[in-house]
Amino acid sequence: MPTVADIRAAEETITMLTAYDAPTAELVERAGIDAILVGDSMGNAVLGHDTTLPVTTEEVASRTAAVSRATDEALVVADMPFLSVGVSEAESIENAGRMVKEAGADAVKLESGPHTVSLTERLVELGIPVMAHLGLTPQRVNQLGGYGRQGTTEEAATEIAELAVAHEEAGAFSLVLEHVPANLAGAITDELSTPTIGIGAGSDCDGQVLVITDVIGLGDWSPPFSRQFGDVRGEITSAVEAYKEAVESGEFPAEEHSETVEEVEDVY
């Protein structure tokens, strides 16, 4: 059972995927994935939003609880949604604490920046393990003006590298690096003693993470750095079409799906 200590000390490549519901989490765990991120990517992936910004603490807590109930091996990491942390320390601790106390998360992930260094330290001090997240931080989409690659200038790369070290020193047990140059991710991975988990960050990270709906082919769009390993859209479409056809033709429900009970014969 990977704990944050196991992840921190992992010798082998760490595998992480998002999941937002019990049946998916169960399958992800059964496949042997080390860590499940209940990402705020649920906003786009399953809640029908265009960005992650509208996702609430309530929604992540509810989905995290579902994932926790369905798993016992994988490390469950709850993603702290936009403005659930960073507004005030007390509120940040309360919201992060909810994920552990009420929803059963093993750790939380914070989209990180200069403002999360001391908060990370405080959460870790209180017993809430923190996964940091640098590079592209989609909650800042309005600031960034899009979802482009980050850390592409020396100045920007240096800032990310320094923040990576600052969050490790603050006690983060691992670091997600999203959509940064592979050589920057490689350099940060060499520098840190805690593991890096990349998404769109090349192959030199200590682990990889992707969004489950992209991996299984449930979404209708996925970023160029992702890969579709399955065709769940195709599976759902053919199952639904087959159901519709069977109902319309009268082939379903068949005799084996129905029951006749003598006692109710005379209601009219």
Residues found near ligand KIV in the complex (CB under 6 A): 18, 37, 39-41, 79, 176, 178, 199, 209, 211
Give the nearer residue to ligand KIV in terms of CB position, either 35 or 65: 35
Give the nearer residue to ligand KIV in terms of CB position, either 128 or 134: 134
50 is in an annotated binding site: no
What is the distance between the alpha carbons of residues 187 and 161, in angstroms, rounded to a whole number?
Answer: 8
CB 209 to Na ion: min, Å: 10
Q: How many CA atoms lie within 13 A of 224 on its CB side?
A: 4
Interactions with Na ion, residue window 208-237 (CB under 5 A):
none
User: Of 16, 24, 36, 39, which one interacts with Na ion (CB under 5 A)?
Assistant: 39
First vs last Cα of the chain: how many Å apart?
60
State CA 126 to chain mean position distance. Answer: 23
- As beta bridge partners, residue 14 has 207
Give residue 107's identity as a one-letter amino acid code. A
Which range, of 36-44, 152-160, 162-170, 229-237, touches Na ion by CB under 5 A?
Answer: 36-44
37 binds, among ligand KIV, Na ion, none (CB under 5 to 8 A by kind): ligand KIV
79 is in an annotated binding site: yes
214 binds, among ligand KIV, Na ion, none (CB under 5 to 8 A by kind): none
CB 200 to ligand KIV: min, Å: 9
Give the nearer residue to ligand KIV in terms of CB position, either 79 or 106: 79
Distances (CA, A) of 176 to 203, 231, 236, 237: 13, 27, 31, 34
Give the nearer residue to ligand KIV in terms of CB position, either 147 or 187: 147
User: Of 29, 34, 40, 168, which one interacts with Na ion (CB under 5 A)?
Assistant: 40
200-206-207-208 Cα dihedral, nearest 10 degrees: 10
Residue least distant from ligand KIV (Cβ):
39
Handedness of CA 20, 21, 24, 25 (dihedral sign): positive
Q: Alpha helix locations (H) across the chain?
A: 4-9, 22-30, 42-45, 57-70, 89-101, 117-126, 141-144, 154-170, 182-191, 212-216, 232-249
41 is in an annotated binding site: yes
Query: With contact defined as beta carbons under 8 Å apart, do 178 and 187 qualify?
Result: no
- The reply to whether 43 sits near Na ion by the rule CB under 5 A is no
Tokens of residue 165, six digits: 């070290």
101 is in an annotated binding site: no
Which positions lie near Na ion, rule CB under 5 A?
39-40, 79
Binding site, residues?
40-41, 79, 109, 111
Binding site for 3-methyl-2-oxobutanoate, residues?
40-41, 79, 109
